[in-house]
Amino acid sequence: MSIMTPATELSTHNIKVLSLPIEITTNHKSFLKEFCDFTSALALPANGEPPAVRFRVMKKRKYTHIEKDGRTIYHRAEDSLLRPLLVHQIRESCCDQVRDYLIFHSAALVKNGRAILLPGESGSGKSTLTLGLMNYGYRYLTDEVSVIHHETLEVVPYQRHIFAWTWSRPLRQEVVKDFSVYRFRHDDGTTTKRWTYFIPQDGAIMPKDARWRVDRIIFPRYTTKGKTELKPLAPAQAVIGLMQNGWNQKLFPDGGLKICIELARMAKCYTLEMRNLDRACELIEGLQG
Amino acid sequence: MGATLRSPARRTPFKSGVANMGNGTVAKKGHILLVRGPVNTALYDLENEEVYSVNPLMAELIEGWLDKDQSCKSPPVKEDTLKVIRSYLARHPALGGISDSWSSNKELSKENIQTLYNQSGPVGLDYVWLELTKSCNLFCAHCYEEAGTNHPHPTHAIGRPTSGGHLPSREREHISLEQWKDILSEGARLGAKRVQFTGGEPTLYPGLMGLIEYARSCRYRDIEIFTNATRLEDSLLRQWASSGVRVALSFYSCDPRTHDTITGMAGSFRQTVQGIRAILANNIPVRVAIVLMRDNLSHLTDTVEFLKGLGLKDNEIEWDYVRPTGRGVVKAGLMGRDVQSDVTPFRSSSLEEGQGTCDKGFARGTCWKGKIAISSEGDVYPCIFARQMSIGKFPEMRLEEIIQGQYLQRLWQITLEEVEICRDCELRYGCFDCRALAQTTTGELLSRNPRCRYNPYTGLMERNGGKEMKERPKKRGDIVSGDVDDETVIYDSRNHNVHHLNLLGSVIWDLCDGNHTVKDITKEIVDVLKADHVQVERDVTKMIGEFQGKGLLEEVLK
């Protein structure tokens, strides 16, 4: 994926979002910059798979023109909504392709053949907890997108780069060694935040065709006050938590309610107030026993 | 055991900059505040004091844009991005709308919202209503204070101690001129900057001019007199003009007969019109409110034109509603909610159906914040329209004591975050709120303002506000629900909302099948639970009302 070179002419990029190979052809410089962000956050390189969807993002004089499979979906003189529009389109296309799966905004790990789901919104500590739990022998399934089959209710690995806010405590060497690690700062004028980028090496991840039954669902919430606590959660509340973190429920006539209820019945559900990462990991580890 | 229904706000992925200002999630970037409601999303531009209501698709696009801004590689927020969104919305009205009524809302600033919602200390006094007398030369059909000619003029009470032995008991209760002055000076000391002299008819109070001068000496910035304008002599108006007061009055109709019928006195129309002319001639700032009633609805537009013809400007003409207080109880009953809904667009004519917007916006919590009203008998209320909520008595209690009291402080600190339905609404940070109206209409302090026609759960303006209930409530056919243990989770595919019901709520939900009336449902529950009938019926009615409000039941066909 040679997207880092500045585009002066037409360039074609192949990426994969979820299981969907996408081809994007562009000559648009500012879009290319946004595209880099997008691919690093969401997408994987598609290695030689034929594209299922083709996008063309073209700059023609002052107009930006987007075609999806030859059909124009955008033709305007402004660029500010370009990326959200494209993300929206790609997500819609992906969701159409994965009709048999319910997708959650959730991390997933596995240990002793039992999978653990960590659903939560951005900033709740999914990625950090994922990295922390890997110190305790958990293996990485996904940290952002959990894909659950609608009949078997098994979770499918979806490995991508982990993008975590660097906590005060450095991550242990044994986790870090499984990843290529990049650190950088984000300066928005008022605050500087440090972010760390983990790219999994082959040894850290599970085989892609493996499937795992969900054994526990833990809703993490990062907190600066109070202590680190793991509390059991009523199944009905867990259903709501899962529904809130669903991405493609609109594809299911019941909004994925049945799947969520089954998941909540099958797995034990908890909420995790997380202040101290080590303590949180110990508590989760305690559940395994 | 009470029935509960909890509806978490819909969430979408790719959310960024999340801060929590109460129940809902709020994305904030610089002066842009994105508040997510159950269906629509409100975009607050705090710099230009504007609010946009946008549909879910547009919200997602804007969220994505805020998201982009979070990323380390992207440039900082562009100054002109709002312009882009604005022009985008202008070209695609279906994505959302700009509500004009908000654009002049100077109080919608970041600081105001922050102070309002993060405030922990006590609230200070800002505004005082002084009801100088209960006596009035008119007998208006809807008067909140039941003022009229049947109350004696308080002439003889002036300057005398309130415990004057020979006075009849009623007059003995009147606050004396000296006491009014005490109130004014203590109010000023406590921080009040604005005062309104009202009544009854304040010009019937002989000490009015003295009080105005006294208030001026106490450095009140804003002094207003609420009069019926029937007794304004030129000499009096000249005095008012020189002391820099403002005048407010109510007007009912351009048709003399209708006006006189409402005021209960023949000839009052002519006198009031003369009064308005005289006020304008003396260059006294004035505001005229047309009180909406069934009697004057048919010629509302003519009335506005008539007032403009007198020389009043657009911004000097306002609308007001009858509050169900005093004699207004009867009038408000006549003036049904449907009628009020019909006339609401007058208030903000640029709004269209479907664009989620409430009343004109002031980001200051409830209207009565920092205000007190003192009646001629010394009773203290949080608002002139909240007559059932006495918070103290003057002179038995000092003003300071009343203001620092827990009850009043609690009333002042109410925000829309606590009000039912409003707490889920995306427009809650900019909406005007009259607690007195809600309290007097529904009997519940934290119920939603009955005037509001916007249903945040459907994202639509509703004619009846979902208040009308089917005799046999029936759940919508496309609603999916599932049982988890003894509880129920409901999914509404129309707006992708998820609701959670406890055991009792689940039973009621199951019985909303179009075959059971509220009475039947109550009876079934009472039979099984052996619980108190009255309590269960209240729970059932409230629960079904909530189902209705959230659009979970089939609509009533008209």
Q: Look up the pTM and report it.
A: 0.54
Confidence of residue B5 (pLDDT cuts 50, 70, 90): low
Average pLDDT, chain B: 74
- Which of these, B399, B444, B389, lies nearest to B420 by C-alpha position? B444
| B343 or A94: which leads in pLDDT | A94
Coil, helix or strand for B366? Answer: strand
Parallel, antiparallel, or unpaired for β A212-222 and A229-232? unpaired
Between B325 and B404, the more confident residue is B404
- Residue type for position A104: F
**In angstroms, what separates the C-alpha of A90 from chain B's closest C-alpha?**
13
Mean of the pLDDT values across residues B154-161? 40
Greater confidence (A80 vs B343) lies with A80
Q: What is the mean pLDDT of residues A14-19?
A: 73
User: Can you read off the two tokens belonging to residue B440?
Assistant: 């007097």
Greater confidence (B64 vs B346) lies with: B64
Kindly compute the dihedral angle of the four CA atoms of residues B460, B466, B470, B471, in this order, to the nearest 10 degrees. 180
Q: Sheet of B50-54: strands edge to edge?
A: B18-20, B25-29, B32-36, B41-45, B50-54, B96-98
3-state DSSP assignment of residue A162: strand
Note whether B61 contacts A186, CB cutoff 8 Å. no
Q: Smallest CA–CA separation between A123 and chain B, in Å?
A: 8
Name the DSSP letter for residue B290.
Answer: E
pLDDT average, residue stretch B349-369: 45
Closest CA to B204 of B395, B376, B378, B379: B376
Q: What is the pLDDT of residue B184?
A: 93
A264 Cβ under 8 Å from any chain B Cβ: yes
Q: CA angle, B321 as apex, B339 and B270 as ends, to 5°?
A: 105
Instruction: Write down the ipTM of this complex.
Output: 0.70
Gap from B349 CA to chain A (nearest CA, Å)? 31
Which residues, including other chains, have CB under 8 Å from residue B75's CB and lie 6 or more apart?
none
Give strand pairing partners of B45. B32, B50
Instruction: Provide the 8-state DSSP code for B148.
Output: B
Residue B253 predicted with pLDDT over 70? yes
Please give the angle made by the CA atoms of A41, A47 and A52, to the nearest 5 degrees: 80
Q: pLDDT value at position A264?
A: 92
Question: How large is the average pLDDT for residues B312-318?
Answer: 85
Are A39 and A15 in contact by the 8 Å Cβ rule? The answer is yes
Please name which of A222, A262, A224 lies closest in space to residue A243, comparing C-alpha atoms. Answer: A262
Which of B244, B306, B320, B255 is closest to B277 using CA atoms? Answer: B306
Residue B429: the pLDDT is 76
| Min Cα–Cα distance to chain B from A81, Å | 7
Q: Note whether B52 and B98 are within 8 A (CB).
A: yes
Instruction: Provide the Cα torsion B268, B273, B278, B284; round to 10°.
Output: 100
CA distance A148 to A156: 6
**Separation of alpha carbons B388 and B472, rounded Å:** 35
Residue for token pair 């988890």:
B484
A283 and B CB contact within 8 Å: no
pLDDT, tens digit, 9 for 90 and up, residues A201-222: 665 566 667 788 899 999 998 8
List alpha helices for A180-276, DSSP H.
235-244, 257-266
pLDDT of residue B341: 45
For residues A14 and A38, the model is more confident at A14
Q: Is A102 helix (H, G, I), strand (E, B) or coil?
A: strand
pLDDT-above-70 percentage for chain A: 71
How many CA atoms lie within 13 Å of B100's alpha carbon, on the beta-carbon side? 8
Radius of gyration of chain A (CA): 20
Q: Enumerate the residues of chain A whose CB falls inside 8 A of the CB of residue B70.
A: 186, 188
Determine whether the interchain pair A243/B498 forms a contact, defined as Cβ–Cβ distance below 8 Å. Answer: yes
- Which DSSP helix (H) or strand (E) runs through B259? helix B256-263
pLDDT of residue B162: 36
Query: For chain A, where are the alpha helices, taking DSSP H only?
Result: 29-42, 82-97, 126-134, 173-176, 235-244, 257-266, 277-288
CB within 8 Å: A236 and B488: yes
Q: Does A84 touch chain B (CB under 8 A)?
A: yes
A81–chain B Cβ distance below 8 A for any pair: yes
* Whether the predicted pLDDT of A111 surpasses 50: yes
CA–CA separation, B13 and B90 (whole Å): 26
Name beta bridge partners: B455.
B460
Range of lowest pLDDT (A236-240, A280-284, B427-431, B541-545): B427-431
Q: How far is the C-alpha of B392 from the C-alpha of B402, rounded, in Å?
A: 6
Q: Does an H or E element contain B347, and which? A: helix B337-347
CB contact under 8 A, A80 and B78: yes
Note every long-range contact of B432-435, with CB atoms under 8 Å and residues 24 or more positions apart, other chains counting. Answer: B432/B358, B432/B359, B432/B360, B432/B361, B432/B362, B432/B367, B433/B365, B433/B366, B433/B367, B434/B366, B434/B367, B434/B385, B435/B366, B435/B367, B435/B368, B435/B382, B435/B383, B435/B386, B435/B411
Nearest alpha carbon to residue A259 among A116, A176, A153: A153
For B251, counting Cβ atoms within 10 Å of its Cβ (0-12 exposed, 13-18 middle, 19+ buried), the class is buried
DSSP H or E segment with residue B511: helix B503-511
* Residue in chain B nearest A78 by alpha carbon: B84
Q: Are B356 and B38 in contact (CB under 8 A)?
A: no
Query: Which among B67, B72, B496 has CB closest to A255?
Result: B496
Q: With contact defined as beta carbons under 8 Å apart, do A126 and A274 qualify?
A: no
- Integer Cα distance of B464 and B558 in angstroms: 11
Give the separation between CA B487 and CA B507, rounded to whole angstroms.
9
The C-alpha of B64 sits at a distance from chain A's nearest C-alpha, in angstroms, of: 5
Distance from CA of A50 to the nearest CA of B (A): 28
Q: Is the peptide bond before A189 cis (omega within 30 degrees of 0)?
A: no
Looking at residue B336, its pLDDT comes to: 47
- Contact residues, A window 6-65, toward B, CB-based 8 Å cutoff: 33-34, 36-37, 41
CA distances from A71 to A54, B41, B397 (A): 10, 30, 76
State whether residue A254 sits within 8 Å of chain B by CB. Answer: yes
Interchain CB distance below 8 Å, B484 and A37: no
Tokens of A178: 């499984």
Nearest-by-Cβ selection for B13 from A105, A187, A261? A105
* Distance in angstroms (rounded) separating the CA atoms of residues B370 and B308: 33
Helix (H, G, I), strand (E, B) or coil at B82: helix
More confident residue, B15 or B516: B516
**In whole angstroms, what is the distance from residue A136 CA to residue A131 CA?**
10
CA separation for the pair A59, B343 (Å, rounded): 50
Residue of B nearest to A261 (CA): B484
What are the CA-CA distances from residue B113 to residues B99, B119, B192, B449 (Å)?
A: 19, 10, 21, 20
pLDDT value at position A3? Answer: 40
| Residues B212 and B250: beta-carbon distance below 8 Å | no
- Answer whether B480 sits within 8 Å of A261, measured CB to CB: no
Tokens of B204: 């019937």
In sequence order, what are the residues at sequence separation of 6 or more whose Cβ sits closer than 8 angstroms to the Cβ of residue A114?
A212, A213, A215, A216, A288
* Chain B residues with CB within 8 Å of chain A CB: 6, 8, 10-11, 13-16, 18, 25, 57, 60-65, 67-74, 76, 78, 81, 84-85, 88, 480-485, 487-489, 491, 493, 496, 498, 500
Convert the pLDDT of each residue in A126-164 to its tens digit.
878 888 888 888 888 887 778 888 888 888 777 666 666
Mutate to test the interface with A, among B16, B43, B55, B484 (most CBs of A within 10 A): B484
- Among B7, B39, B63, B491, most A C-beta atoms within 10 A, so best to mutate, is B491
Q: How far is the C-alpha of A234 from the C-alpha of A264, rounded, in Å?
A: 9
Q: Please write the tens of the pLDDT for every residue from B210-225.
A: 999 999 999 898 999 9
- Please compute the mean of the pLDDT values over residues B244-256 and round it to a whole number: 91
Tell me the C-alpha distance between A97 and A92, whole Å: 9
Q: Is the peptide bond before B165 cis (omega within 30 degrees of 0)?
A: no
B470 or A28, greater pLDDT: A28
Grade residue B100 by pLDDT with cuts at 50, 70 and 90.
very low
Which residues in chain A touch residue B63, judged by CB atoms under 8 angstroms apart? 84
The residue among A217, A210, A205, A223 whose CA lies nearest residue A241 is A217
Q: Please give the Cα distance from A111 to A103 (Å, whole number).
A: 21
| Residues forming a β-bridge with B483 | B488
Query: Between A and B, how many CB-CB pairs are < 8 A?
Result: 124
Tens of pLDDT, residues B103-131: 334 444 555 555 555 555 677 888 999 99
DSSP, res B78: P
Least confident window among A35-44, A87-96, B92-101: B92-101
What b/e readout covers B306-329, taking b as 16+ CB neighbours within 10 angstroms? bbeeeebeeebbeeebbbbbbbbe
CB atoms within 10 A of CB B95: 18
Q: What is the mean pLDDT of residues B417-431?
A: 80
Cβ contacts of B69 on chain A, cutoff 8 Å: 188
SS3 A6: coil
Q: What span, in angstroms and rounded, lies between the C-alpha atoms of B417 and B426?
A: 11
Inform me whether the pLDDT recorded for A224 exceeds 70: yes
pLDDT at B343 over 70: no
Helix (H) or strand (E) holding A198: strand A192-200
Rounded to whole angstroms, how far apart are CA atoms A277 and A274?
7
Higher pLDDT, B183 or B556: B183
Cα within 13 Å of Cα(B185), Cβ side: 7
B95-102: average pLDDT: 44
A122 vs B16, B60, B73: nearest CB = B16
CA count, 13 A, side-chain hemisphere, A217: 34
Q: Tell me the residues of chain A between 166 and 195 that have a Cβ less than 8 Å away from chain B.
A: 184-189, 195
Report how far residue B353's alpha carbon sits from residue B356's, in angstroms, rounded to the nearest whole number: 8
Contact: B72, A105; criterion CB under 8 Å: no
